[in-house]
């Protein structure tokens, strides 16, 4: 029994050691056909790689050279990956026996050239990766044998030009990546034989122009990356044969104009980046119908205006970014057709005003950013048809006031930013103050929304002002104050201070404190804050509320009339309600009346 067991163990041991003896020194062999020689200890390719090896990989090692010998008998090798080594020399016959190789990666090495004839027997190769090396040129015929290549990655080298005809035999190529090189131009016929090409990446080069017809034979192209180059001009017909294009990246170039019709025939486009260029305008007819385009990025250009209907073919667009341009005017119908738009970004432009109807064709809009413009005022009905609006950014503009009822149609509002505007805290601020008090949470920190004018109120949070319009309490104060500031009083130090005129805000003679205004509110009101008292000079130049005497006169007259009307209404109401319900009357009573 014991002898049998030890015999079994011995034979088992022999089998194992036999298998492992096949594995080269310092390497591991996960299966009998896979060899992995990775790690810093490896400095050259072993001469003892088993002939039946199908996969050989050497990662993160210090191999500097490939000679002919180690690969000589590896005719069944399918995958060879020598990545992240220090490879700088390859013998031109190194791969001669690898007639079954399908996948070859030499990425992340220090290759400066690919010797002529290197790939002469690799007819079956489908993937060739030589990314992140130091190739500065490629021999015009080195790729000629690679008739079955599907994926060629040459990005991250130092290629300065594409030799004539270099890709002409690659009839099966689907992906070609030439990004991150130093290409300054591409021959017009470079890609003309790549009839099956689906992805062409030319980003991060130094391309100055793209020749007419460069992509004319690429009818199957779905992705084209031309971003981060120095292209100034695009031929109008450049994409006219690329009806299957889904992604087109043109951002970060120097393109100064988009010719009419350039995107007219791209019905499958779902991604288009145009930001970081130099367009001064977009003309009508640039964008054809694109049912799949959801986002359009146009920020960081030089746009000055937006003409009517310019986006009207982009009926499925959800996001339109036009920020950081120089837009000073937008035609009323510029956004026509954007029925699905959810987010519109117009911040950091030069807008001073907006047409009332400009957003009326955006029924689904949720977010709009208008900050960092020079908007002085906004039409009352600007957002009238945008009942789904959730997020409005209006900070850092030149807004002195907003029209009453401005936010009224907006039932779903979540966030409104209003700070960094020169709010004018005169009688017209009532609406805004009331709205702020009712919607503090939507403003984030409402105490950042402060008055800029009149000077004595500068820095005062609007929400702290005592001007609840439902009470008109401050209107009464205004009467007192203004009547105490006759225009002709010029004596310095004359008693034109607000604390005096409003010294008794609880004045029994003011019938208008009836609703809701509590003693506390009045005491915290701006009129009693000594820190914000004006200098006599301020008082002389501009009356209370910063009005001229003529304006003051009109205001007073209007207010007196209003007061009278309100008083009458009150009396009538009071009589009527007393009859109807004594409960209501209790609520109307002023605490200090009780
Ligand atoms: C390749 O095979 C030949 C004959 O089968 C043999 O003589 C030679 O030593 C082998 N070379 C290597 C590197 O294993
Ligand atoms: C919409 O697309 C059609 C077809 O490409 C084009 O003729 C028309 O000019 C485009 N309209 C606009 C406003 O760009
Ligand atoms: C609107 O803005 C909010 C807050 O910034 C964001 O979370 C949300 O995703 C935006 N909605 C759309 C449709 O862009
Ligand atoms: C306010 O907007 C101007 C442009 O109108 C911009 O230059 C400035 O940086 C903005 N300020 C802040 C704090 O964003
Ligand atoms: C609100 O803003 C004011 C003024 O900028 C600041 O003093 C205060 O700390 C802020 N409060 C909060 C909760 O951020």
Return the HEC string of 207-258. Answer: CCCCCCCCCCCCCCCCEEECCCCCCCCCCCCCCCCCCCCCEEECCCCCCCCC
Q: How far is the CA of 74 from the centre of ligand 1 (A)?
A: 10
CA of 96 to the centre of ligand 1 (A): 14
- Per-residue exposure over 340-369, b if at least 16 CB sit within 10 Å of its own CB, e if not: bbbbbbbbbbebeebeebbbbbbeebbbbb
pTM: 0.76
Q: Does some domain include residue 583?
A: yes
For residue 533, tell me if it sits in a domain: yes
CA angle 39/43/45 to nearest 5° reads 95
Our answer on whether the CB atom of 396 is closer than 6 Å to any ligand 4 atom is: yes
Between β-strands 271-273 and 305-306, what pairing exists: parallel, antiparallel or unpaired? unpaired
Q: Would you say 232 and 209 are in contact if contact means Cβ atoms under 8 Å apart?
A: yes
Looking at residue 450, what is its pLDDT? 95
Token pair for 479: 């009467």
Q: Which domain holds residue 530?
A: 473-593
Amino acid 381: pLDDT: 93
Q: Is 46 in the pocket of ligand 1 (CB under 6 A)?
A: no
Distance 51 CA to ligand 1 centre (A): 9
Question: Encoding tokens for residue 304?
Answer: 């000055």
Tokens 């956004």, residue? 335
Pocket lining: 421 vs ligand 4, CB cutoff 6 Å? no
Mutational pocket test of ligand 5: of 395, 440, 447, 458, the residue with most ligand atoms within 8 Å of the beta carbon:
447
DSSP H stretches of helix in 339-472? 430-438
Q: Is residue 571 one of the residues assigned to a domain?
A: yes
Tell me if 35 is assigned to some domain.
Answer: no
Q: Is 179 inside a domain boundary? A: no
> Ligand 2 pocket test: which of 289, 313, 336 has the largest number of ligand atoms within 8 Å of its C-beta?
313
Measured in angstroms, how far is the CA atom of residue 300 from the centroid of ligand 3?
A: 21
Express each pLDDT in 57-91 by its tens digit.
999 999 999 998 789 989 999 999 999 999 999 99
Rounded to 10 deg, the angle between the 473-483 and 549-580 helix axes is 140
Residues whose CB is less than 8 angstroms from the CB of residue 58 and which lie 6 or more positions away in sequence, other chains included: 36, 37, 38, 42, 45, 81, 82, 83, 85
Q: What pLDDT is attached to residue 484?
A: 31
Helix (H) or strand (E) holding 520: helix 519-523
pLDDT at 452: 94
Q: Which residues of the chain have pLDDT under 70?
A: 1-21, 467-594
pLDDT digits (tens, 9 = 90+) for 488-500: 333 333 333 333 3
Question: What string of DSSP letters covers 532-552?
Answer: GPPPHHHHHHS-GGG--HHHH
Within-domain flag for 191: no
Note whether residue 573 is domain-resident: yes
Let me know if residue 50 belongs to a domain.
no
Domain count, the chain: 1
Residues 67-80 as b/e (b if ≥16 CB within 10 A, e otherwise) read eeebbbebeebbbb
């Amino acid at each position: 029994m014991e002898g049998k067991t030890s015999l079994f163990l011995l034979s088992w041991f022999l089998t194992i050691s036999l298998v492992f003896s096949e594995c080269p020194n310092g390497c591991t062999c996960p299966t009998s056909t896979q060899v992995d020689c990775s790690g810093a200890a490896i400095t050259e390719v072993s001469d003892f790689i088993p002939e039946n090896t199908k996969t050989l990989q050497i990662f993160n090692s210090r191999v500097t050279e490939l000679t002919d010998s180690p690969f000589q008998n590896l005719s069944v090798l399918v995958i060879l990956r020598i990545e992240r080594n220090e490879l700088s020399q390859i013998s031109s016959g190194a791969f001669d026996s690898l007639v079954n190789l399908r996948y070859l990666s030499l990425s992340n090495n220090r290759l400066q050239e690919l010797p002529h004839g290197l790939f002469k027997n690799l007819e079956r190769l489908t993937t060739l990766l030589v990314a992140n090396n130091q190739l500065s040129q490629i021999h015009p015929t080195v790729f000629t044998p690679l008739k079955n290549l599907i994926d060629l990655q040459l990005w991250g080298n130092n290629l300065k030009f594409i030799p004539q005809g270099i890709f002409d035999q690659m009839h099966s190529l689907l992906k070609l990546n030439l990004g991150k090189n130093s290409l300054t131009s591409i021959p017009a016929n470079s890609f003309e034989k790549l009839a099956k090409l689906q992805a062409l990446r030319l980003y991060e080069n130094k391309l100055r122009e793209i020749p007419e017809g460069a992509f004319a034979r690429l009818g199957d192209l779905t992705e084209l990356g031309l971003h981060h180059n120095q292209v100034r001009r695009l031929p109008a017909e450049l994409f006219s044969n690329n009806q299957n294009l889904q992604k087109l990246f043109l951002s970060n170039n120097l393109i100064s104009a988009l010719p009419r019709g350039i995107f007219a025939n791209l019905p499958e486009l779902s991604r288009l980046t145009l930001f970081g260029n130099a367009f001064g305008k977009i003309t009508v007819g640039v964008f054809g119908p694109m049912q799949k385009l959801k986002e359009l990025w146009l920020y960081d250009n030089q746009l000055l205006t937006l003409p009517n209907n310019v986006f009207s073919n982009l009926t499925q667009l959800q996001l339109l970014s036009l920020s950081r341009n120089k837009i000073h005017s937008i035609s009323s119908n510029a956004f026509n057709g954007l029925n699905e738009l959810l987010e519109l970004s117009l911040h950091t432009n030069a807008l001073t005003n907006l047409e009332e109807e400009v957003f009326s064709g955006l029924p689904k809009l949720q977010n709009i950013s208008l900050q960092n413009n020079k908007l002085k005022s906004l039409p009352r009905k600007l957002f009238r048809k945008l009942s789904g609006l959730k997020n409005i950014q209006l900070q850092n503009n030149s807004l002195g006031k907003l029209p009453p009822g401005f936010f009224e149609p907006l039932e779903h509002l979540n966030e409104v930013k209003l700070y960094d505007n020169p709010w004018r805290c005169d009688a017209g601020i009532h609406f805004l103050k009331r709205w702020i008090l009712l919607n503090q949470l939507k403003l984030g920190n409402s105490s950042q929304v402060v008055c800029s004018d009149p000077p004595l109120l500068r820095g005062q949070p609007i929400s702290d002002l005592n001007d609840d319009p439902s009470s008109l309490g401050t209107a009464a104060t205004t009467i007192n104050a203004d009547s105490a500031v006759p225009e002709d009083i010029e004596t310095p130090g004359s008693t034109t201070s607000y604390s005096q005129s409003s010294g008794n805000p609880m004045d029994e003679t003011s019938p208008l404190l009836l609703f809701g205004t509590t003693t506390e509110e009045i005491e915290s009101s701006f009129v009693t804050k000594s820190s914000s008292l004006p200098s006599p000079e301020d008082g002389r130049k501009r009356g209370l509320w910063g009005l001229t005497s003529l304006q003051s006169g009109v205001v007073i007259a209007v207010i007196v009339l209003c007061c009278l009307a309100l008083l009458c209404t009150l009396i009538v109401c009071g009589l009527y309600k007393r009859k109807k319900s004594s409960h209501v009357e209790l609520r109307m009573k002023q605490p200090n009346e009780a």
